[in-house]
Amino acid sequence: MSESIRIQLNGKPHEAAPATSVRELIVSLDLQPEMIVVERNRTILRRDDYADAIVEEGDVLELVHFVGGG
């Protein structure tokens, strides 16, 4: 079994451990899942599904981080 899978993250190659959830990936990048919108293979994921969505070889992920302000 491979030690990592290859994905595209915000337009750049990235490696992740097999069976990593989208939520785990976000946390590993030191981001807060509550502040991120994820597009996976051109489909927006529901935030409630981040923990169940497993990143797979070849996935294309775009993470958009929202910043509050006024």
Query: Domain containing 46 — which CATH number?
Result: 3.10.20.30
Q: What's the pTM value of the predicted model, to 2 decimals?
A: 0.89
Give me the domain span that covers residue 46.
5-65
How would residue 2 be classed by pLDDT, with cut points 50, 70 and 90? low
Neighbours of 43 (CB within 10 A): 7
Is 70 part of a structural domain of the chain?
Answer: no
pLDDT digits (tens, 9 = 90+) for 28-66: 999 999 999 999 999 999 999 999 999 999 999 999 988
Number of domains making up the chain: 1
Assigned token pair, 55 = 């990143």
Q: Quick check: is 9 in a domain?
A: yes
